[in-house]
């Protein structure tokens, strides 16, 4: 069982029904801001934060939300391995 040592609140930033590039980018920028300000994420790879700030438009196969979800998966993996509770 994981021992949670830190807590970061971002889930409220994910609550929207619009998967447009603009809304997805707005959410991901806000999440990147929270992660950068959180001491728990000091060792999170800054390249992933940069990618959160620059979500691509996508194509017929992958949309902006798909790219965002991939980056969020990396954030959750980091959080789980470092005992950070995402709220």
Our count of domains for the chain comes to 1
Domain containing residue 68: 6-86
| Distance, CA of 42 to CA of 56 (rounded, Å) | 25
Residue 1 lies in a domain: no
pLDDT of residue 53: 96
Q: What is the predicted pLDDT for the residue at 1?
A: 61
Q: Is residue 79 part of a domain?
A: yes
Q: Is residue 60 part of a domain?
A: yes
Q: What's the pTM value of the predicted model, to 2 decimals?
A: 0.90
Count other C-beta atoms under 10 Å from residue 29's C-beta. Answer: 16
Asked if residue 76 is part of any domain, the answer here is yes
pLDDT at residue 16, as a whole number: 77
- 53, part of any domain: yes
* Alpha helix segments (H runs only) across 1-87: 21-37, 46-52, 64-81
Tell whether 64 is covered by a domain.
yes
> pLDDT in tens for each of the 87 residues of the chain?
668 899 999 999 988 788 889 999 999 999 999 999 999 999 999 999 999 999 999 888 899 999 999 999 999 999 999 999 999
């Amino acid at each position: 069982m994981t021992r949670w040592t830190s807590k970061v609140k971002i889930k409220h930033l994910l609550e929207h029904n619009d998967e447009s590039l603009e809304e997805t980018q707005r959410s991901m920028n806000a999440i990147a801001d929270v992660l950068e300000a959180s001491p728990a994420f000091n060792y999170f790879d800054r390249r992933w934060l940069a990618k959160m700030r620059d979500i691509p438009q996508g194509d017929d196969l992958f949309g902006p939300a798909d790219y965002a979800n991939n980056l969020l998966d990396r954030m959750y993996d980091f959080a789980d391995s470092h005992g950070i509770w995402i709220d």
